[in-house]
Amino acid sequence: MSEIHIMKLAVGAESLEDILRWEQERGFAEVSYIHTRHRPTRWEELINGGSLYWVIKGVILCRREIVSFDYVKADDHWLVGLRSKNVLTEAQPRRPFQGWRYLKPADAPKDLPTGDHGEMTPELARALKEAGVW
C-alpha cells in the first residue's frame, strides 16, 4: 500500500456525473490516461498503490488508482495511467490549489461501499464549508 496519494482539481467538472460521463465517453479500457506537463516528485511512491483523488467543485468525491507515469518526448508531457474504475469516496471539502497536492492516507476520505452514495451530498458538503461549519 502506498504511503502517499495525490489530489488534482477536476477542472471543468460541475459534478461527479461529469467525471463519470467523460470516462465513459473515453471507453472502458483497463487503464486510461490523463496528460500533465509535470510529473509529481514522489511519482515512484504513487505507482505502488497510490491514488489520484479528484476534487470536484471544492469537494473530493472519488479516486482512481495510479498505475504508471509515462513520458511522451515528442510532445514533452507525461501520461498518468489510471485504473479505469472510479472508487466513490466520502465527500471531503478542499480549498482551491494549483497542480498536484500530496495526500497522506490517514487524511484521505474513506471509500464508500459499492452502491452507497453516502449521506453527505457534494452540495451539502459545500454548504457546510461555506457556512464555516466544516
**What would the pLDDT profile of 35-61 be if each residue is shown by its tens digit?**
999 999 999 999 989 999 999 999 999
Min mean pLDDT across 72-81, 87-96, 97-106, 116-125 is at: 116-125
- Domain ranges, residue 104: 5-130
**What would the pLDDT profile of 18-27 be if each residue is shown by its tens digit?**
887 877 787 7
Domain count, the chain: 1
Q: Sort residue 132 into left (φ over 0), alpha (ψ -120 to 50) or beta.
A: left
Give pTM, 2 decimals: 0.81
Comparing CA positions, the residue from 44, 55, 33 lying closest to residue 100 is 55
122 close to 94: Cβ distance less than 8 angstroms? no
